[in-house]
Amino acid sequence: MLDLEKRSNPYRDDKVIGSCSIFGMMDLRGRCVEGQPVFEAMSNMRERSNGLGAGFAIYGLYPSRPKDYAFHVMYESAHGKELAEAELARNFDVVHAEEIPTNPQDGVTNGPMLWRYFVRPPSEDGVRFQELVAREVTRINTTVKDAYVFSSAKNMGVFKGVGFPEDIAKFYVLDEYRGYIWLAHGRFPTNTQAWWGGAHPFSFLDWAVVHNGELSSYGANKRFVEDYGYRCNFFTDTEVVAYAIDLLVRRHGLGVEMACKVLAPPVWVKIDGMPESKKALYSSLRISYSGLLLNGPFSVIIGREGEMIGLTDRIKLRPLTAATGNGRLYLASEEAPIRLVDGDLERVWSPLGGVPVIGRVGQGICYEEEGA
């Protein structure tokens, strides 16, 4: 998409901001389940969005093509489609292409053409192929007219657009898909025109982020990730969260828990009181990655292959509720939608600020209050 900033940030504000509803549901045994509870939960939180953006990320989406990368692409003109398809063909082995099935809804208008492509990676060197995907997707998104790739990873996909969450779900016929992780977002933007590409989840490689908040550290975070080659083309703080965790986990090899301690670190007073070895680690993390501290209110749910992570800012200025029951982990802006869709919960709690809730397929839940 040419002039990405102009589309995503038409008034050229410092950043694109908005309040939101977020919801995540994960089957901890990795069984793929229907999204009906997620649609109901989002509908319950309708007041938290204003119809200007909604979306879903589903992991375990394409079980028949588990090894292929699925590219979901928006086109605003036939010419854009031609250009982007030429780019894809030039760089990748596209094994299948099709229009994303949709079912028009009253509340969902001005939609672009929506296509998906399955791309087969070479059998060796998955790391290098990931880099290629990251680079090429960024290039298409910033240089190709009228085309925008909004998800590009294995066995997962993002569906998003302008409308209320329940309408977007119907529009994309999401009741026909199953997944072991469902992330959902309802948007209440305050400074962007309705643009399909601006809806959440924001996805980069297999990361998908749904975010409620406004990062007052955006400028500091942006310049830090840009030092490492990322380009914040959308001017949304959500994008910065995805790049930050990608840098820490994929490129710098930190564990997800540790990465969360960079994004929402303990306060210095707490670090000062830690035993020596822990203190050395936490101090080094804060000193080395001070530009990745996410400041200001946020709650995010981050998905990746086999993992779902919930995190809030360290003084918890945005809500997040976690719950477990029937082998599932739920994360949501509110408790009510979780209770609405699952009457048989084992545990419901409000995670402490800055303490991640991590669900892993086959391993259960990691939540350590002590580390707050």
139 contacts another protein (rule: CB under 8 A): no
Q: Decide: 210 and 185 in contact? Cβ < 8 Å.
A: yes
In the list 291, 319, 325, 327, the residue contacting another protein (rule: CB under 8 A) is 291
Query: Pick from 36, 284, 326, 363: which binds another protein (CB under 8 A)?
Result: 284
Identified binder of another protein from the candidate list 38, 114, 208, 285, rule CB under 8 A: 285
Nearer to another protein among residue 79 and residue 223 (C-beta): 223
Q: Which one of the spans 25-33, 54-62, 289-297, 321-329 is the region binding another protein (CB under 8 A)?
A: 289-297
Instruction: Report 187-206 residues binding another protein (CB under 8 A).
Output: 190
Per the CB < 8 A criterion, the answer to whether 171 and 163 are in contact is yes
308 makes contact with another protein (CB under 8 A): no
Among residues 231 and 339, whose Cβ is nearest to another protein?
A: 231
- By CB under 8 A, tell whether 372 contacts another protein: no
For position 14 contacting another protein by CB under 8 A, the verdict is yes
Indicate the residue among 10 and 30 with the shorter CB distance to another protein: 10
Q: By CB under 8 A, tell whether 254 contacts another protein.
A: yes
Q: What is the DSSP letter of 372?
A: -
Q: Is 223 in the site for another protein (CB under 8 A)?
A: yes
Q: Alpha-carbon distance 52 to 291, whole Å?
A: 31
Report the Cα–Cα distance between both ends of the chain, in Å, rounded: 41
Measure the CA–CA gap between 220 and 292, rounded to whole angstroms. Answer: 8
Distance, in Å, from the CA atom of 202 to the CA atom of 204, rounded to the nearest integer, reads 7
317 is a site residue for another protein (CB under 8 A): yes
Shortest distance (Å) from residue 359 CB to another protein:
23
Q: Estimate the crossing angle of helix 126-143 against helix 78-91, to 10 degrees.
A: 160
Omega before 319 cis (within 30°)? no
Rounded CA-CA distance 56/37 in Å is 13
Which bin fits 316, alpha (ψ -120 to 50), beta or left (φ > 0)?
left
- Which tokens belong to 99? 């229009």
- Asked whether position 217 contacts another protein by CB under 8 A, the answer is yes
The answer to whether residue 280 forms part of the interface with another protein (CB under 8 A) is: yes
Strands (DSSP E) found in 238-327 = 298-304, 307-312, 321-325
Q: Which of 244, 241, 371, 366 is nearest to 301 (CA)?
A: 241
Nearer CB in complex with another protein: 91/283: 283
Neighbours of 86 (CB within 10 A): 11
Give catalytic status of residue 366 as yes or no: no
Q: Which residues bind another protein (CB under 8 A)?
A: 12, 14-15, 17-19, 190, 213-214, 216-221, 223-224, 226-227, 251-254, 258, 267-269, 277, 280-281, 284-285, 287-291, 293, 295-297, 314-315, 317
Catalytic residues: 20
